[in-house]
Amino acid sequence: MKLKWLLTVMCLVISLIPIAMIIGLQGLEIATKFLSLIIFVTLTIAFIVSYFISIPLVKLTKNIDEISKGNLDVELEKSEIYEINNLTNSLDRVMASLKLAINKVGVQKDEIFENAIKAKEQVEQNFENLLKKIDGWIWETDEKGICTLCSKKVTETLGYCPKELIGKDICGFLHSDDAKKLKENIFTISRDKRTVTNKLDLYWKEKTNKEPVWVRTFVIPVFNTTGTFQGLRCFSRDATDYKATENTIAELQKKIGELNKQLHEISRQPDKQSSLSKPINETVTKQEFDYMILFDEKTKIVDCTDDIEKKLGYSKKEMLSLTFSDVVYLESPNNIKASLEEIKKQGNKYIKDIHKKKDGSSIFVSEQIRYLKDRNVFICMVKQEIF
Class of domain 134-238 (CATH, top level): alpha beta
The number of angstroms, rounded, from the C-alpha of 328 to the middle of its chain's C-alpha atoms is 18
Per-residue model confidence (pLDDT) at position 142: 93
Per-residue model confidence (pLDDT) at position 128: 62
Query: What's the N-to-C CA distance of the chain in angstroms?
Result: 55
Q: What is the pLDDT of residues 221-245, one digit of tens each?
A: 999 888 899 999 888 888 776 665 6
Per-residue model confidence (pLDDT) at position 312: 92
Range picked from 6-20, 31-45, 241-255, 338-352 for highest mean pLDDT: 338-352
Per-residue model confidence (pLDDT) at position 237: 85
211-215 long-range contacts, CB within 8 A, separation 24+: 212/175, 213/157, 213/158, 213/238, 213/240, 214/238, 214/239, 214/240, 214/242, 214/243, 215/157, 215/239
Q: Is 333 exposed, middle or buried (0-12, 13-18, 19+ CB in 10 A)?
A: middle
Comparing CA positions, the residue from 310, 254, 268, 319 lying closest to residue 286 is 310
Give the amino acid at 194.
R
Asked whether the predicted pLDDT for residue 167 surpasses 90, the reply is yes
Asked whether the predicted pLDDT for residue 136 surpasses 70, the reply is yes
Asked whether the predicted pLDDT for residue 212 surpasses 70, the reply is yes
For 248-384, CATH number?
A: 3.30.450.20
What's the whole-number average pLDDT of the chain?
76
Comparing CA positions, the residue from 353, 281, 280, 355 lying closest to residue 311 is 355
Which 3-state string (H, E, C) describes 222-234?
Answer: EECCCCCEEEEEE
Residue 52: in which H helix or E strand, if any? helix 28-68
Least trusted range by pLDDT, from 62-71, 172-181, 298-307? 62-71
Asked whether the predicted pLDDT for residue 59 surpasses 80, the reply is no
Per-residue model confidence (pLDDT) at position 300: 92
Least trusted range by pLDDT, from 58-62, 155-159, 362-366, 376-380? 58-62
* CB burial readout 48-86, b (16+ within 10 A) else e: ebbeebeebeeebeebeeebeebeeebebeebeeeebee
Q: How many CB atoms lie within 10 A of CB 126?
A: 10
- Domain extents for the chain? 3-105, 134-238, 248-384
Give the amino acid at 112.
I
Tell me whether the CATH fold assigned to 134-238 matches the one assigned to 248-384. Answer: yes
